[in-house]
Amino acid sequence: METTRDTILAAAAELLDQSGPEGVTLRGVAQIAGLSHNAPYKHFRDKEALLAGVAARELRVRTAAMAGTIAASSDPLTALRELAYDHIRWGLQYPNRFRLIFGRWERHDEDLADAASETLRLFIEAIALVRSAGKIRPGDNERTAALLMSLIHGAMEMALGGHLSAEGKGRSDPQGLVDDLIDMLKM
């Protein structure tokens, strides 16, 4: 029954999309939520905790959606590719959410860390299924998952910064680079 807390989180997410983490002011959040400018302090100890709440909430929604994507795929290799594409599509659409979730945190947030390791686990499982189906070369599933996630994050970061699409002759957008990696992983 924490509808007030959720109202605050929704307001913060709205401001985050509009103008990034710096744009998420306690006063702005409170105004959208219809509260006094320091009411959020009764629900979050400070601004960083509020942002961590937004990040964890969004990441859980994303992870659930990705699980759905896997379930809807016809075979393990397609599932892996769709999982990656899904992640990229979301990141490009909501760059501020993506950066907030995977960016730097001053303090460790348990809730966010849990959500992140769940996402990682999903990638590891997707890799494990492809590998046990004999579609990709032998290796450690966790390490291959780290390789794929790192590439996705880096490619997204470069794409958001305009360092990718601009200069490549080939289709060096995030999806293209992920395709390259998956092709090289194939046996």
Partner DNA sequence: ACCTGAACACCGTTCAAGT
| Residues in touch with a second copy (CB under 8 A) | 20, 95, 99, 102-105, 108, 116-117, 120, 140, 142-143, 146-147, 149-158, 160-164, 167-172, 174, 176-177, 180-181, 184-185
Residue with smaller CB distance to DNA, 49 or 147: 49
Neighbours of 112 (CB within 10 A): 23
| Beta carbons within 8 Å of 180's beta carbon, 6+ residues apart | none
Phi, psi at 186, each rounded to 5° = -60, 150
Shortest separation between residue 177's beta carbon and a second copy, angstroms? 5
Q: Which does 85 bind (CB under 5 to 8 A by kind): a second copy, DNA, none?
A: none
Is 159 in contact with 92 (CB distance < 8 Å)?
A: yes
How many residues of this chain bind DNA (CB under 7 A)? 18
Q: Which does 167 bind (CB under 5 to 8 A by kind): a second copy, DNA, none?
A: a second copy
Residue from 17, 32, 43, 128 touching DNA (CB under 7 A): that is: 43
Joined tokens for residue 160? 């958001």
> Could you say which residues in the range 120-179 bind DNA, by CB under 7 A?
none
| Beta carbons within 8 Å of 152's beta carbon, 6+ residues apart | 84, 87, 88, 91, 174, 178
